[in-house]
Amino acid sequence: MKLPVIKHLTQFIEENDEDFVVETIVTLENLTEVPSLKDEELDVIGELISNMYGALEVHKMVKDGTPKKEALNTFMSRVLGSIDK
């Protein structure tokens, strides 16, 4: 996951609507079922999906009253904490 991408997507959600991101996730998840995709292509799609889910999480925290910077840092701390385990 990349914080700048999540931050950008969070801004996109604020300016537009989270439904755009949700629908994109569904589309990308469906694309992963194409049997001819290479591992590298699946990795890129997976990274995009992860960043989009991250942006949705951050957006939810912001909607619940957490300042954006704090929400981004909290989310990334949680992600890094789960990787260390």
pLDDT at residue 77, as a whole number: 87
Domain count, the chain: 1
- Boundaries of domain holding 9: 3-84
pLDDT at residue 1, as a whole number: 82
Structure letter (DSSP) for residue 16: S
Q: What would the DSSP string read from start to end of 42-85?
A: HHHHHHHHHHHHHHHHHHHHHHTT--HHHHHHHHHHHHHHHHH-
Residue pair 6/51 in contact by the 8 Å Cβ criterion? yes
Block means of pLDDT (10 residues each) for the chain, length 85 residues? 93 96 98 96 96 96 95 87 64
